[in-house]
Amino acid sequence: MTYELEEVKKIRKKLGMTQTELANRAQVSQSLIAKIESGRIDPTYTKTKKIFAALSDLEKKEEIKAEQLMTRKVIGVHSSTPIKEAIAKMKKDGISQLPVIDSHKLVGLVSESTILEALLGSKAEKVSEIMQDAPPIVSKATSIQVVSSLLKHYPLVVVSEEGKLVGLITKSDLLGKLYNS
C-alpha cells in the first residue's frame, strides 16, 4: 500500500499506536515521527521508506483473514447424490448452497437457484446433472478484501489448507464479521 507523509498520524492513530511505538518499529527517533506529523520536516527517502514499511506490516497484521471469516463445518454433497436428497440437506441445515465434493476434491456447486431451474426445466435427477462450476478456493491467510471481491461474483468461497477443504465463506459470514467488528 502506498502512503503520503500527511497520512502517517492518521494511520498510526487508527492502528492504536503511540509515536514512540511507531518509531521503535521503524527504527527511527520519536522526534522524527513528531516532526513529520506536524509537517515541520521533510524526511529522507530511507527514513520515509522505513516508516511506511512499519505501517504496512502493522496494517497487514491487523487485517482480517479468511480463517477468521470461515464457517468450519463443511456440509457438501457427492455428484451422484439425488437432487431430492440435496434439497433435504439444504432444508435440514438451513443453507442455500452446497459444495459438490468427490474424492475429497471440490468439483462443483449446487444452489437453490440451480435446483429451481432444474426442477422447472429438465428431468435431471442427480446433482452432477445440474451443478455449477466449482467456486473459488482460497487459503486461510487470504485477506478479507480478496474474499469480498470474490463474493461479488460467486455465492461462496471455499477455504483450503494443504489441499483439504477446511471451511466455507458466504456473503452472510462476511456481513456477520463486519457487522460485529
Q: What is the 3-state secondary structure (H, E, C) of the chain?
A: CCCCHHHHHHHHHHCCCCHHHHHHHHCCCHHHHHHHHHCCCCCCHHHHHHHHHHHHHHHHHHCCEHHHHCECCCCCECCCCEHHHHHHHHHHHCCCEEEEEECCEEEEEEEHHHHHHHHHHCCCCEHHHCCECCCCEECCCCEHHHHHHHHCCCCEEEEEECCEEEEEEEHHHHHHHHHHC
pLDDT at 31: 93
pLDDT in tens, 81-112: 999 999 999 999 999 999 999 988 999 999 99
User: Residue 72 and residue 135: Cα distance in Å, rounded?
Assistant: 16
pLDDT at position 91 is 95
Q: Is 40 exposed, middle or buried (0-12, 13-18, 19+ CB in 10 A)?
A: exposed
Sorted by where each begins, the domain ranges of the chain are: 5-61, 66-180
Quick one: what percent of the chain has pLDDT higher than 90? 55
Q: How far apart are CA 45 and CA 142, in angstroms?
A: 31
Cα 128 versus chain centre, distance: 28
Q: Is the pLDDT of residue 181 over 70?
A: no
Q: How many CB atoms lie within 10 A of CB 35?
A: 14
- What fold, for 66-180? CBS-domain (3.10.580)
Full-model pTM: 0.65
Tell me if the domain spanning 5-61 has CATH number 1.10.260.40: yes
- Higher-confidence residue of 144 and 78: namely 78
| pLDDT of 121 higher than 80 | no
